[in-house]
Amino acid sequence: MSTGIVMALVMNLLHLLFLAVLVHSDQNMAPLRSFKISENVTYDCLDIYKQPGLDHPLLKNHTIQMKPSVSRPELNNQFGKNKTYKKKMGCPDGTIPILRSSEEYISNAKNFAEKYFHPLSSDSPGTHIAGVRSSNGSYRGILAWFDGFPLNIERDQASYSQVYIGSGLDNQVNFIQTGYMINPGVFGDGRLWTYGFWKGKDGKGCYNTACPGFVQVSRDVPIGKPAGPGVPDWTRCSIHQDKGTGNWWLTQQVSDKAYIDIGYWPKELFNLISNGANMVGVGGVVQASHSGPSPPMGNGNFPNGDRMGSAIIINIDVLDSNYEQRRMDSFPIEKLVDSPNCYGLGIGKVKPFHRTHLGFFFNYGGPGGNSCGV
């Protein structure tokens, strides 16, 4: 299929952009490798046992889980079968890539996390959604394929596509989300970034490795990285709970790569999702400017019945309470569209005699604008 070819090209370009640089640190430290992707984006290979994620007070006694204890959800479609990850960048054994973070990035990421939308409180001003959610269950995970598009986003706007799991009780929430985000106010550029976000029992939320909590285990693929410039990107993201440990894994497959276990959010961080999450969801979200205008979502087009005309999320599966992988629409789903003037949702319809590999899917998105409401 042609997107596969396009993506292979894109990923090759991305690899070329990674310039491996050897940095010699002082005295006894082994040389550590860094990858500079662009002017303000550098990853340092740090000792996996000394990574900043472990500095969280709840992780004092944490033992790193090097890989999921039970085999992860199988890929049951044609994408990525038998693919091996071509290692063109990667940290040396025993080290993992961590984004070199400026104070500015850390404080911007914290501000955004505190001020804006999260999946269990949709009333944050200027936030709009077009997606699908299943509540009232006990879910061990969610996975979906989605595309991300380059969009023109103002400095105080954000536009993202995500999958999430979470639970709420009284005034507390726990959740984890991952996907693509364009958020110049946080990332410092208008590119599409993959990201992960969590909110745990201390009530705090955090993006990527901007504060402690996430444990990176992949030597090759960091949580949070920019996509190649000016082109759509595809990824399959999954968040799933480990059957043996209860930790929540982030797994990603990008175009020609194998399924990569990037790392996990340890169970110690949470109090409401120890035995699965009540809710799972997937879709697009935007954050409007303070001055009003809402940015585009998806690829900027409304769903119009043409599968390739607007952004699409396909093969949306969940893991049920027994860790069985099932189509999301085998559970009751709610459609979430809060600003139909600006953003739409078109649940995929496939004629019964025309089965496809798309599974449960939908198109979503829209142009945004000045009259999206608050």
Ligand X SMILES: *[C@@H]1O[C@H](CO)[C@@H](O)[C@H](O)[C@H]1NC(C)=O
Q: Give the three-class secondary structure for 209.
A: coil
Report the nearest approach of ligand X to the CB of residue 155 (Å).
12
Q: How far is CA 171 from CA 69, 112, 116, in A?
A: 33, 20, 17
Whichever of 104 and 114 has its CB closer to ligand X, that residue is: 104
Whichever of 83 and 307 has its CB closer to ligand X, that residue is: 83
Q: Of 299, 44, 38, 20, which is closest to residue 189 (Cα–Cα)?
A: 38
Whichever of 40 and 69 has its CB closer to ligand X, that residue is: 40
Residues in the chain: 374
Report the nearest approach of ligand X to the CB of residue 60 (Å).
4
Whichever of 77 and 135 has its CB closer to ligand X, that residue is: 135
Report the nearest approach of ligand X to the CB of residue 102 (Å).
7
Whichever of 133 and 240 has its CB closer to ligand X, that residue is: 133
203 Cβ neighbours under 8 A, 6+ residues apart:
172
Report the nearest approach of ligand X to the CB of residue 78 (Å).
8
Report the nearest approach of ligand X to the CB of residue 59 (Å).
7
Whichever of 219 and 267 has its CB closer to ligand X, that residue is: 267
3-class secondary structure per residue, 33-87 = EEEEEECCEEEEEEEHHHCHHHHCHHHCCCCCCCCCCCCCCCCCCCCCCCCCCCC
Q: Of 95, 214, 192, 203, which is closest to residue 147 (Cα–Cα)?
A: 192
Chain residues in the site for ligand X (CB under 6 A): 39-40, 58, 60-61, 81-82, 135-136, 188-189, 332, 334
d(CA 45, CA 56): 20
Report the nearest approach of ligand X to the CB of residue 58 (Å).
5
